[in-house]
Structure 1
């Protein structure tokens, strides 16, 4: 619901940066756009997207109507409270980001269930009448529901969350949030934390104060690039080889997901990420670092672009120090376990060679040579791991495994990379595979990226990260499903390229 709206958040941030009283070029007339933009437009856009995900355009419309009830109900509650308060201590508006994220899917889902009740029972010629009035009446009913109980509930929730953040700031305990944020990010909950919790709270602060430190709690690219630099200098095997490229993508491209697999390889490294994240937060607390609007994606470019006036030194220093602390701690961990990791890779190499030979079903001079060099040539370890990796392709109803290779009963013409938001990591993976297919000389295969919720029957082959494959299979059960650990450089891409190239050669 939030990720596709990042351009709107950026536009709001630009209006804020230039035209509010504390902006670069204050303009009282243009500044009047800032309040309605954040209070009405963004929550309604969130509501439409949330409803659309559940029930298409019809769900988006009903979800938007219902969410406007929540917005109006919140405004009414605050107006009632302000009547009892002195003029110099009035409450500000609560922007209904969370209200939209809750109400819109509920309204769309209930509309979908209601439509099922009279599906196929409407007399010919009355379909449009029934569809229009049913959506309008149900939107009206859900707006009333939003105006009273849900607006009261969301206002209370925002008060509790705001008070909790205020307490952490006042007691100088805000760095402790890294204990929750950094591990949660590694388990792919970064978007839920940043855009589901921190962004709404940060926008509340920014709408009143012009900036917020909360925008930097999750988006700081320092810890991630510090971890990847540690792998660059002290890692082994494929992790070391791929870390420099991943660091560039993470730091400048803002796709934090690329460093998550490196942390999951050795979970103790999460300690380094926590320390780095806490260092960045502490630096910003002490020096007043803050952003005007969310930095999305979490690139150093986006962070600098959204930095509030007078906060550039603090923000840049927080990124540098968080990267340095993570790098130092991660380096110690990697160096301390380096000998054990090399031995473990040697064991994995021998096992991979044996498993490859077993799947091949016959002896191989090449495999025997690899086995003879067990533990002597570290550069070949990844080749055996790749062989095993190719044997673990997930099976979908549209294809099957045959001797470790994917075969399919239908042509593969539409390949989809899917992730939670349909952006970021899946876009990067799609770009990598698209280039490989182009180099292979195959011109009739499309490679796109989508959110898992938007998968449909048009996909012939779906590629997801391991944790998301089951969800993707439920959305697109007839596709071949391939699981990867890392969207950036999985060896399974070569298997997919070989599959589509073989099909292309057969058809020509």
Structure 2
């Protein structure tokens, strides 16, 4: 029987250009701080600056009659291009590629004699890519002991050859291109046609093609123009916050529903924060509003042209503060007028469109935001303002299916591991076994997760390194109501790939095994934890060393009456096992002072901080029951589980403990247990 073949969708030209623009901006954006530094030095210390200083501005002569070099010229000629080249080479082939790319760029700089930003964007990635290919030629063929010799000399020889190629071959071509592009810009300026560029720039911004235009062409040409004339209008062709701000103001007055409610917050982020993408969904809801952006952009550019105003360096991000900070000394009136008039025109045109067209903003804002993120190719770190402004929801809009969820805590080995186990079982029972739920220390987080779950006291620490993820804060890792919200979120975004039959089967199997709705045999997909530097293997995830929990480490009637005493009691059991040293006990108290280890369901799991991993000698767990309960920061705790884990050896037992404490009947059995053997039995024979 013939099977139907589904053709692989072709990548659109827009996506290719978008990726190219992203790559270009990837070389420029990490170095924006250097551009700003150069711009400030230029604005302050050149001959026409606010505080002219010959030695810094590079004009006049010194006491010996030698012309001053200053900072302005060397920074723009050497520092900035070399930084760009190094960044581009490193993007392709790590530090080795960055070094070779920078060497090659030096040839272009010397050969051209002018700031070579475009040359750096060519030579940096080229140096990294060619070095990578050369290294592949003798990979695995170098005799032991000669690796450093071969690596250093190959990089040096190839870098020298690239420098000569840049000097004789690339520099003339790039110089000719720069001259031609500069002539085109000058032609547009001389003939009053520069405002027409908004017809292309404003739609390109909404389609996320602006990086290819702004960082690939406008910034390099603007730098060259600024060096020659002391300022450039090109820096404001795309960065003017006026057009977007006008559209958001129109929504504040004439919008409806969620769009109107979220517009004020979006306007603050766009105008003051400089994050222009926040207004893109508003344009996507009403495509006619692109006319407002174009009209505002053209007005701003025309104003700059008439007044002869410009910036001395790029304004990135496009905040009004960044714009004013980089404004040339003689251009403040023109630049401020350009922003005000662009805002006014954009507001008026957008207001007419909003008043004369019928549309349901409330229905389409979320869809428009998702559409924007789909075009961008990644989640937006600011889009939660649009979809959560009126609902108080602290999660970002997810543009695609949820694949990776991480629980993060300070150490990554106790509360996060148990919370991950609880949610993993819930998601699998819902029919989504392919969703990976892991746990990690906050220090090990990266911006690669779709959903991040933290204790409410740790959320602000996790957000900066996982800005594109949806964040959930909990104060109860065992049975937080947020888990059901996350499961619903997974259902919403992963419906097409759901396997409800598998989930039902898993739940039925779990029920038959006496674990209610929780999957008893679910493996622990653990992330790296304290003491772990690598991703665990499948074997490590399910391994349960026989001495992690022993009968001697289980006490049915603890003697402590306070939280700190209970931590000491649990820690002493770990110390008696030879699993930790005295320093780990101090770290357990330090961890508790930072964030509570209370988990819910009468359970606390004190453990050390991430920095205390060196005090762990082997993995071990201790269990103490307090029948009368202990006041744990206002919560009643009857069970204290001390945890010390190396790599992932302890995660199997934590998973078992989590399953027990999410089942009220089994918690009741623990409370009624009369022997240590009953406790071990309830934890699923973890030592088997």
C-alpha spacing 1:149/1:284, structure 2 compared with 1 (3 Å): same
The offset of 1:411, in angstroms, is 2.7
Distance in 2 (CA, whole Å) between partners of 1:171 and 1:255 is: 32
SS at match of 1:29: helix
Instruction: State the partner residue of 1:270.
Output: 290
* TM-align CA RMSD: 3.8
Matched, 1:30 2:56: yes
Which residue is 2:256 aligned to? 236
CA contact (8 A) 2:202 2:293 kept: yes
Q: Deviation string for 1:332-376 (max 9, x for gaps)?
A: 2122223x4269669x9xxxxxxxxxxxxxxxxxxxxxxxxxxxx
Partner SS, residue 188 of structure 1: coil
Q: Which is worse superposed, 277-286 or 327-336?
A: 327-336
Which whole-Å deviations, capped at 9, do the CAs of 1:260-302 have from their partners, x for residues lacking one?
2222222221111011000000111111221111112111111
Shift of 1:307: 1.3
Task: List per-residue Cα deviations over 1:386-440 (Å, max 9, x = no partner).
Answer: 99x779534469998956899424336565447xxxxxxxxxx99xx98x94637
Q: Which residue of the partner structure matches residue 436 of structure 2?
A: 408
1:6 paired to 2:20 = no
Correspondence for 2:401: 393
Q: What stretches of structure 2 of length at least 5 have no aligned partner? A: 1-26, 58-69, 368-386, 407-423, 469-492, 494-534, 536-598, 601-653, 662-688
Partners of 1:416 and 1:450 within 8 A in 2: no
Report what 1:20 is aligned to. 46
User: For each residue in 1:54-90, what CA deviation from the matched residue of structure 2 results, as whole angstroms up to 9, or x when unmatched?
Assistant: 1111011000000001111213xxxxxxxxxxxxxxx
Question: What is the match of residue 238 of structure 2?
Answer: 218
Counting only pairs closer than 5 Å after superposition, residues 91-102 of structure 1 correspond to structure 2 as 94-102=114-122
TM-score with structure 2 setting the length: 0.53
Give 1:228 shift: 1.2
Aligned pairs for 1:292-371 (under 5 A) are 292-338=312-358, 340-341=359-360
Partner of residue 73 from structure 1, selected from 111, 128, 136: 111
- The structure whose Rg is larger is 2
What CA distance in whole angstroms lies between the structure 1 residues aligned with 2:266 and 2:120? 35
Seen in structure 2, the aligned counterparts of structure 1 residues 310 and 345 have a Cα distance that, compared at 3 Å, is closer
Would you say the 8 A contact 1:51–1:59 is kept in 2?
yes
How many residue pairs align between the two structures?
398
TM-aligned CA distance change 1:405 to 1:179, over 3 Å: farther
Deviation at 1:258, TM superposition (A): 1.3
Q: Does the Cα contact within 8 Å between 2:259 and 2:362 map onto a contact in 1?
A: no
The answer as to whether partners of 2:246 and 2:347 remain within 8 angstroms in 1 is yes
Deviation, structure 1 residue 318: 0.8
Question: Alpha-carbon deviations, 1:223-277, whole Å to 9, x = none?
Answer: 1111111122222332222211111011111111211222222222111101100
Q: What is residue 82 of structure 1 aligned with on the other side? A: none
Distance in 2 of aligned mates of 1:138 and 1:440? 52
Which one scores higher on RCO, CA 8 angstroms, separation ≥ 6? 1
Shift in CA distance, 443/176, structure 1 to aligned 2, threshold 3 Å: closer
Q: TM-score, normalised by structure 1?
A: 0.70
CA contact (8 A) 2:405 2:435 kept: no
Give structure 1 stretches of 5+ with no counterpart: 76-93, 349-378, 419-428, 452-465, 467-477, 479-500
Task: Decide which of 170, 174, 181 is 2:190's aligned counterpart.
Answer: 170
Q: Cα distance, 1:138 vs. partner?
A: 0.9
* Partner residue in 2 for 1:39: 77
CA contact (8 A) 2:403 2:436 kept: no
Pair 1:506–1:329, CA change in 2 (3 A): farther
Write 1 or 2 for the structure with the bigger share of helix. Answer: 1
User: Does the aligned pair in 2 maintain the 1:415–1:447 contact within 8 Å?
Assistant: no
CA contact (8 A) 2:404 2:436 kept: no
Moved over 3 A (4+): 342-346, 389-392, 394-407, 412-418, 436-447, 501-508
Q: Secondary structure at the match of 2:311?
A: coil
Number of the residue aligned with 1:487? none
